[in-house]
Amino acid sequence: MAYQLTRRGLAGSALAVGAVAATPAMALADKKPATRSFPNGFVWGTATSAYQIEGAATEDGRGRSVWDTYAHIPGKIRGGAHGDRASDHFHRYKEDVALMKALGTTAYRFSIAWPRVFPDGTGAANPQGLDFYNRLIDELLANGITPFATLYHWDLPQALQDRFGGWESVETARAFADYAGYVASKITDRVKNVFTINEAATFIDFGYGPGPVELAPGLKRPQPVLNQIRHHVALGHGLAVQAIRAQGRAGTRVGLAENVVSCVPAIETPANIRASEIATREMNAGYLTAILEGRYTDAFLAYAGADAPRFTAEEMKVIASPLDFLGLNIYMPQHYVTASDTAAGFSLLPFPASFPHMESDWLRIGPEAMYWGPRNVAKVWGVKEIYISENGTSAADRVLADGSIADLDRIMYLRNYLTQLQRATADGVPVAGYFQWSLIDNFEWSDGFDKRFGLVHVDFETQQRTPKLSAEFYRQVIANNALA
């Protein structure tokens, strides 16, 4: 007789479960799951960036950036989207700070739009350029939220692209330092933590590289130019560190935020772990390794050959200006690594086609990147203070009939990544805090508004904000400073 799923059938099966509960094993049901705590004082925050949330593209004397130009080129952004209005954060920042407060976060990482401050990239500062950020900073502090400011999250003033070819010229590195010093002189009375550049490797490779995925300015430059651009960005970072120390208040803390190429041992054997450390150093050689060591590795220079960047010893010293902390943006494992007998000492394994990913095709699910990423960085370079400056996921969020958003896949992702982060802190990896990307749904670059990364849903027609179920999950993690 075919089984029929009726109310009566359900009641019957519930009874059956009740019967099993009488066995001793079910005593577990009364036991609270052990909590896995984070260190006392662990910093919990959210992160955003200017072009992705602010909107107000022409207000208060803001100049244009390469993203204004790029997003308005037909066919570049999914759905013809652009950041003219984005999440309208420029006008709704008080509401957004209230959302942060409701989450229980005590820190917020945002970015400052260079073209708001210097509409032409250099020269005269816009007198209204920092007004918005001053209002935001004051609102954060009034709500007990510590501001962490990023100076460059990809919105290069278009004027510098036009005049110098952007980062192709060392002039842009110098202009960045001038901008950084100016901002430091104005905000470090209240902002103690400053990130110079966000994800250099990403905006260089996708903004100037061979593609197919593109970011602004969307130029396909040959390899030697690409290596020189990377060098100029590293130099811009180093010059900015020096300018911030010179013009900011004493005690200002400086770091950068990088999408570290995370190398995870495929199986955690001592040999593979060692191989993942070697791989970490080599796979980050063009940028992070150069900044943390003040040199390009031998293997990097040998591989680049005639395409290697031109540099001086003096520049390498500037690039390696000491930092107070390091920010790591960790979304996924870039490589799974095994030991090998080759000269390199490691092999990078190919990803099977069936490797799982989240709503964005590139966003592989590999929570152990959140353990090995910071651990290898701390081990290889002796870094003493690390922040996870971004981690989060896109999800195909759907507003249910009752208006709620049950983003169970985002909760699954966060629970697993945070479990590995807790494992890292418990093993003594010096991670001081975590910034969830992102507070609110926003303009996801070439994906437009199609990929939602927020803990809080944004209706881009009405700009109404609705916290998703994952916001409640994150609130509980913060309240307990632990995973349940």
As annotated, the active-site residues are: 199, 390
**Which SS3 state, helix, strand or coil, does residue 129 take?**
coil
For the CB of residue 353, give the shortest distance to ligand GBH in the complex, in Å. 14
CB 394 within 8 Å of CB 52 = no
CB 312 within 8 Å of CB 295 = no
* Residue span 446-465 as binding mask against ligand GBH, x where in contact by CB under 6 A, dash where not: -------x------------
Between CA 469 and CA 464 the distance in angstroms is 16
Range in contact with ligand GBH (rule: CB under 6 A) among 70-78, 127-135, 198-206, 421-429 = 198-206
Among 46, 172, 329, 334, binds ligand GBH (CB under 6 A): 329
DSSP β-ladder status, 36-37 and 482-483: antiparallel
Bridge partners (DSSP) of residue 483 are 36
Between CA 59 and CA 66 the distance in angstroms is 17
Residue nearer to ligand GBH on the CB measure, 49 or 161: 49
Helices and strands in the chain, H and E counts: 17, 15
The torsion region of residue 126 among left (phi > 0), alpha (psi -120 to 50) and beta comes to beta
Q: Is 343 exposed, middle or buried (0-12, 13-18, 19+ CB in 10 A)?
A: exposed
Residue nearer to ligand GBH on the CB measure, 247 or 391: 391
- Is residue 441 a contact point for ligand GBH (CB under 6 A)? no
- Is residue 46 a contact point for ligand GBH (CB under 6 A)? no
Nearest to 239 by CA among 163, 315, 350: 315
Bridge partners (DSSP) of residue 348 are 337
- Is residue 155 a contact point for ligand GBH (CB under 6 A)? no
Range in contact with ligand GBH (rule: CB under 6 A) among 117-125, 194-202, 244-252, 319-327 = 194-202
Please give the residue whose beta carbon sits closest to ligand GBH in the complex: 362
DSSP β-ladder status, 465-467 and 326-329: unpaired
Range in contact with ligand GBH (rule: CB under 6 A) among 57-65, 169-177, 196-204, 380-388 = 196-204
Entry field: residues in the chain: 484
Between CA 257 and CA 241 the distance in angstroms is 13
How many chain residues bind ligand GBH (CB under 6 A)?
Answer: 14
Residue nearer to ligand GBH on the CB measure, 68 or 390: 390
Residue nearer to ligand GBH on the CB measure, 248 or 255: 255
* Residue span 245-264 as binding mask against ligand GBH, x where in contact by CB under 6 A, dash where not: --------------x-----
Residue nearer to ligand GBH on the CB measure, 316 or 458: 458
Among 132, 331, 372, 474, binds ligand GBH (CB under 6 A): 331
Residue nearer to ligand GBH on the CB measure, 231 or 452: 452
Among 10, 21, 102, 213, binds ligand GBH (CB under 6 A): 213
- Is residue 444 a contact point for ligand GBH (CB under 6 A)? yes
Residues 374-393 that bind ligand GBH (CB under 6 A): 390
What residues have CB less than 8 Å from 2, skipping those under 6 apart? none
Residue nearer to ligand GBH on the CB measure, 38 or 331: 331
Between CA 132 and CA 88 the distance in angstroms is 13
Range in contact with ligand GBH (rule: CB under 6 A) among 23-31, 195-203, 287-295, 368-376 = 195-203
In angstroms, the Cα distances linking 370 to 158, 237, 377 are 35, 25, 11
Nearest to 448 by CA among 77, 25, 52, 127: 77
Residues 105-134 that bind ligand GBH (CB under 6 A): none
Among 70, 437, 449, 474, binds ligand GBH (CB under 6 A): 437
- Is residue 93 a contact point for ligand GBH (CB under 6 A)? no
* Residue span 395-434 as binding mask against ligand GBH, x where in contact by CB under 6 A, dash where not: ----------------------------------------
Exposure b/e, 6-23, CB count within 10 A at least 16 = b: eeeeeeeeeeeeeeeeee
**Contact residues for ligand GBH (CB under 6 A)?**
49, 198-199, 202, 206, 213, 259, 329, 331, 362, 390, 437, 444, 453
